[in-house]
Structure 1
């Protein structure tokens, strides 16, 4: 009885996680950057997404390796603004290569929002930014973050656990803009995500 109950709980937990993120990996082929391998295609909420680009985020002139990120789209594109404005499903997968404190991670997000959403052409509610940033945890080598963008907003998960739903398409747009906007933390990573 206990074993059956345990198995049922595991099944329920797995179904909940699948419903939250709804990401199934296609293992037909894959791409590798700095030892991190990502599939060339993923099924997300019944839609097939293809790898648009994959690259590494480094820090300082020493090129300290922070993470590898991969961007998946329904249709490949090299146009950052077209990707940002598209209502199609998009997935950004980030795999960390080193430990980063919560303080440093939050500072990086705060800078990303400030540099890539400046009035009058772009505005975002500062309270919403701080609410999002307050949920950003410390990360460790091997941690995995998923940012799933839809026409309704975004779903953010960390190591398979939900960090929260963003039910605001504009805020989700600004969130992705921190990677693909005019002043990303890593211009080289932006180019890689665009497949350039």
Structure 2
């Protein structure tokens, strides 16, 4: 009788331990040694960490990104359609030259928002003017506030703000649009 009861207790304990050990945290996350906080303050609102993705180029781990939204969403179409605050943090794991970053922005625009490529070229030129050579450990942050625009910060210093939801949508589409840097990367940002 006692051994039977111990067996039931032990099974319940093992199930609980398994669930506890392998459950993913609801908010904050760590990926490739980069830990992102549960929340980000944007435009006076608290955004939640939606998901994290690892950007790889062939076998090179380039950066870890974290997408912040007012509430968790797994649809890129709904995220881009909503005119609400958004944020994205990029933590670099590898040195990237400014010219390569700019090429990636222009490619992202062309591949994800081709109908707006000509109309948004000037804004993407401005975005590229904010870029710098990035080194391992550097951080870049993008925040969008409706009616104000997208603010770009490099290494903790605000470089400027680019007006317009159209620009914000095209820029965020570079990460979560139909042709992102990688399917796993996009899926990570969308929380999956």
Alpha-carbon offset, residue 122 of structure 1: 7.0
Q: Determine which structure has the larger helix proportion and give its number.
A: 2
Change (3 A) 1:45 1:130: closer
What is the DSSP-based 3-state SS (H/G/I as helix, E as strand, rest coil) of the residue aligned with 2:168? helix
Which of 151, 157, 180 pairs up with 1:155?
A: 151
Change (3 A) 1:142 1:182: same
Change (3 A) 1:85 1:106: same
Change (3 A) 1:125 1:49: closer
**Are residue 81 (structure 1) and residue 93 (structure 2) matched?**
no
Given the two structures, how large is their TM-score scaled by the length of structure 2? 0.80
Alpha-carbon offset, residue 124 of structure 1: 3.0
Question: What is the root-mean-square deviation of aligned Cα atoms in Å?
Answer: 1.6
2:32 corresponds to = 34
1:103-142 alignment to 2 at 5 Å?
Answer: 103-119=99-115, 124-142=119-137
Q: Determine which structure has the larger strand proportion and give its number.
A: 1
Moved more, 89-98 or 161-170: 161-170
Moved more, 91-100 or 182-191: 182-191
2:61 corresponds to = 65
**Are residue 174 (structure 1) and residue 170 (structure 2) matched?**
yes
Q: Decide which structure has the larger Cα Rg and report it.
A: 2
Given the two structures, how large is their TM-score scaled by the length of structure 1? 0.79
Change (3 A) 1:131 1:43: closer
Unaligned runs of 5+ in 2: 1-26
Unaligned runs of 5+ in 1: 1-28
What is the DSSP-based 3-state SS (H/G/I as helix, E as strand, rest coil) of the residue aligned with 2:188? helix
Q: Contact (CA 8 Å) 2:89, 2:141: kept in 1 or not?
A: yes
